[in-house]
Amino acid sequence: MAFPKNFLWGGAVAANQVEGAYNADGKGLDIQDIMPKGVQTGPTEEPTPDNLKLQAIDFYHRYKDDVKLFAEMGFKVFRTSIAWSRIFPNGDDAEPNEQGLQYYDNLFDECKKYGIEPLVTISHYETPLHLAKKYNGWVNRDLIGFYEKYVRTIFNRYKDKVKYWLTFNEINSVLHHPLLSGGIFTPKEKLSLQDLYQACHHELVASALATKIGHEIIPDVKIGCMVIAVPIYPLTPKPDDVIKVMQVEHFNDFFGDMHCRGVYPGYMKRYFRENGIEIKFAPGDEEILKNHTVDFVSFSYYMSVCEAAEGGTKGGGNLMGGVENPHLKKSDWGWAIDPQGLRIIMNKFYDRWQKPLFIVENGLGAKDVLIDDGKGGKTVNDDYRINYLKDHLVQVAEAIADGIPVMGYTTWGCIDCVSMSTAQMSKRYGFIYVDRNDDGSGTFARYKKKSFDWYKEVIATNGESLKK
Ligand code: BGP
């Protein structure tokens, strides 16, 4: 397995899914604090006790022990996000919250202590609630200014500690989940296409602006976009099905095209024309988009889907829709398992954008059973997870052999965390089991799963152990 020498092996989480401490040390509320059921039902008025994210896995207080475990596995990189509302509690505050800034100083220092590079998502589905409620999130152009201020603050503060940044998590999901991804409070059914695509424009300008500012402030910085990668296969060879695939792919790829090419693609202009959408550009937008494209493309990969002009069974999956592929097995949560899809989408992305790739999420959400390890402790025999990750990493190696520059690989939820789509604890991805349950019970104790030692060996051998 030929992984490059400096390949960044590691794991990924997001602040809102691990930290808890939702109102500690001056943190303001964010949209996750009122989303107790993930994307399944609408938001609540106030934070409610059934929202597991309010405490999550208490990473806020336990990060030292957790980073130590990541270091034991040999992580070269740890991806997390900064909770915007720890830094600017309302999003539009005049001054940042020093306690929030200090917390991430401590976390990044802890990573550095073990030689782990932080990879930081600036905005991971956790827009300050006030920005959602007062401004309707990214529909409002003012968000660009608030984001710019936030970005300048964290870039200046962490410029010597963080070299790898992602501007928005899964930015292309905003078309499907406007509140989650764009902090847009208007319910999706009532949101006009005009407002939705204007919000996309604002996010894209903000992302390019962050790239510009990052390059000015941080020496040797690498700034990437982050998209959901979903290979789409036609359900049949009928040209109508293939056209359908092309059209759905256009909506998914629009965001990567903008980040890598800096201009609106023809297919999008056609869609705007035919749907009466007119994107309002402010002076300078065009130049910002054009001149500040990303250094690399990062993405999450969990599954592929099929599309058909008509028919097919609606597929499971977290955010993007599609119809079921009859040839693939599914996870406990109905997500199609398709390791080869990873190689396919990597080739597509590189052919299309010619930018280095970084796989920043991949993994299996499964129900784990904690058992005695025979040595007085507890563990999980998660061979299913090992097999899943192994099969996907073999395909990453294939993609590298295909000639694609790949910067690294971070598994999703390297420590069990609260699920984004369903807000459950029982959907576990980690190498480290956390004793917390869907009903909120549990001690928060950590236990190493079988996959912990497996991944440790993969990293130690730079992927050579995958041959076994
Ligand atoms: C991605 C999100 C993550 C994460 C992951 C797994 O779309 O970026 O935040 O949670 O999906 O999804 P889930 O937690 O719903 O299983």
Residue closest by Cα to atom 12 of ligand 1: 420
Contacts of 326 (CB under 8 A, 6+ apart): none
Q: Among residues 205, 169, 378, which one has the least CA distance to residue 279?
A: 205
The number of helices, as runs of H, and strands, as runs of E, in the chain is 14, 14
Minimum-distance ligand 1 atom for the alpha carbon of 365: 16
The pLDDT score that the predictor gives to residue 126 is 98
Minimum-distance ligand 1 atom for the alpha carbon of 14: 9
Alpha helices in 169-235 (DSSP H): 178-182, 193-217
Minimum-distance ligand 1 atom for the alpha carbon of 335: 16
Q: Check pLDDT > 70 for residue 145.
A: yes
Residue 365, ligand 1, Cβ within 6 A: yes
Give percent of the chain above pLDDT 70.
Answer: 99
Q: Among residues 380, 368, 352, which one has the least CA distance to residue 424?
A: 368
Q: Check pLDDT > 60 for residue 318.
A: no
Q: Among residues 419, 147, 88, 90, which one has the least CA distance to residue 138?
A: 147
Q: Which helix (H) or strand (E) holds 398?
A: helix 383-401
Minimum-distance ligand 1 atom for the alpha carbon of 333: 16
Residue 421, ligand 1, Cβ within 6 A: yes
412 C-alpha vs ligand 1 centroid, how far in Å? 8
**Could you tell me the pLDDT band of residue 468, with boundaries at 50, 70 and 90?**
confident
186-199 average pLDDT score: 97
At residue 163, the 3 state secondary structure works out as coil
At residue 7, the 3 state secondary structure works out as coil
Per the prediction, the chain carries an average pLDDT of 97
Q: Among residues 67, 119, 74, which one has the least CA distance to residue 465?
A: 74
Map tokens 């790739």 to a residue: 357
The answer to whether 198 and 178 are in contact (CB under 8 A) is no
Query: Based on the number of CB atoms within 10 Å of its own CB, is 443 exposed (0-12), middle (13-18) or buried (19 or more)?
Result: exposed
Residue 169, ligand 1, Cβ within 6 A: yes
**Other beta carbons within 10 Å of 207:** 31
pLDDT tens per residue across span 59-106: 999 999 999 999 999 999 999 999 999 999 999 999 999 999 999 999
Query: The pTM is what?
Result: 0.97
DSSP string, 324-345: --TT--B-TTSPBP-HHHHHHH
Opening angle at CA 251, ends 250 and 255, nearest 5: 95
Alpha helices in 74-192 (DSSP H): 84-87, 98-113, 129-135, 142-158, 178-182
Residue closest by Cα to atom 2 of ligand 1: 420
pLDDT tens per residue across span 285-313: 999 999 999 999 999 999 999 999 988 77
pLDDT tens per residue across span 331-347: 999 999 999 999 999 99
282 C-alpha vs ligand 1 centroid, how far in Å? 34
Name the residue of 302, 332, 421 whose CB sits within 8 Å of the most ligand 1 atoms, as the mutation to test its pocket.
421
The pLDDT score that the predictor gives to residue 425 is 98
The answer to whether 52 and 435 are in contact (CB under 8 A) is no
Question: Distance between CA atoms of 401 and 222, rounded to whole angstroms?
Answer: 24
pLDDT tens per residue across span 403-452: 999 999 999 999 999 999 999 999 999 999 999 999 999 999 999 999 99
Residue closest by Cα to atom 9 of ligand 1: 420
Residue closest by Cα to atom 15 of ligand 1: 421
Residue 419, ligand 1, Cβ within 6 A: yes
Catalytically annotated residues = 170, 361
276 C-alpha vs ligand 1 centroid, how far in Å? 33
pLDDT tens per residue across span 23-43: 999 999 999 999 999 998 899
Q: Among residues 350, 353, 335, 346, which one has the least CA distance to residue 397?
A: 346
Q: Check pLDDT > 80 for residue 209.
A: yes
Name the residue of 300, 301, 331, 359 whose CB sits within 8 Å of the most ligand 1 atoms, as the mutation to test its pocket.
300
217 C-alpha vs ligand 1 centroid, how far in Å? 31
Q: Among residues 43, 36, 203, which one has the least CA distance to residue 129?
A: 43
Question: Distance between CA atoms of 288 and 204, rounded to whole angstroms?
Answer: 10
Task: Report CA dihedral (327, 331, 334, 338) to the nearest 10 degrees.
Answer: -40
Minimum-distance ligand 1 atom for the alpha carbon of 169: 8
Residue 171, ligand 1, Cβ within 6 A: no
What does the DSSP 8-state code read for residue 90?
S
Question: Distance between CA atoms of 420 and 14, rounded to whole angstroms?
Answer: 9
Question: Distance between CA atoms of 433 and 250, rounded to whole angstroms?
Answer: 39
Work out the angle between the directed axes of helices 59-73 and 450-460 (0-180°, nearest 10): 50
Residue type, position 230, single letter? V
Name the residue of 420, 424, 434 whose CB sits within 8 Å of the most ligand 1 atoms, as the mutation to test its pocket.
420
Q: Check pLDDT > 90 for residue 366.
A: yes
344 C-alpha vs ligand 1 centroid, how far in Å? 21
Distance between start and end Cα atoms, the chain: 11
Q: Check pLDDT > 90 for residue 223.
A: yes
Map tokens 């190689």 to a residue: 343
The answer to whether 59 and 52 are in contact (CB under 8 A) is no
The pLDDT score that the predictor gives to residue 1 is 66
Residue closest by Cα to atom 4 of ligand 1: 420
363 C-alpha vs ligand 1 centroid, how far in Å? 10
Minimum-distance ligand 1 atom for the alpha carbon of 419: 14
Buried b (16+ CB within 10 A) or exposed e, 212-242: bbbeeebeebbbbbbbbbbbbbbbeeeeebb
**Could you tell me the pLDDT band of residue 401, with boundaries at 50, 70 and 90?**
very high
pLDDT tens per residue across span 230-284: 999 999 999 999 999 999 999 999 999 999 999 999 999 999 999 999 999 999 9
**Could you tell me the pLDDT band of residue 53, with boundaries at 50, 70 and 90?**
very high
